[in-house]
Amino acid sequence: MKNKILFDTDYSDQDTDWATSAKGNEWRRIEGKVLVVGRNKTTGKYWAMCDGDFAEGSFTSMDAAMEAAESMFDAKFGSRWVL
C-alpha cells in the first residue's frame, strides 16, 4: 500500500494576493471572503464585488475597482490590517 500524504490545512480561509481567474476576472480572498473585480464588456468600465455584494457604480480603472472592493471589505468586516 502506498503512503498517502494528508493535509489538514483548509486553504479556503487563506488570504491571497490579487490573481486572475479562469474567466479573466481579478480576485482575492481576505479572511475567507472573496473580492472580485471584472470588466463590463459593453461599457469597458470595471465593477467591484465583495462577498457577493456589488459596489455601486463603475470604475474607470482596475486599480480603482480593486481599491473599492477592499474598501467594501473594510466597511463590512472591519479593517484587515492587524498590528
The x, y and z cell numbers of residue 38, run together, are: 471584472
Between residues 10 and 15, the one the model is more confident about: 15
> For residue 9, which amino acid is it?
T
CA distance 43 to 26: 18
The per-residue pLDDT for 36 is 97
Q: Over the stretch 11-54, which tens digit does the pLDDT of each residue have?
A: 567 889 999 999 999 999 998 899 999 999 999 999 999 999 99
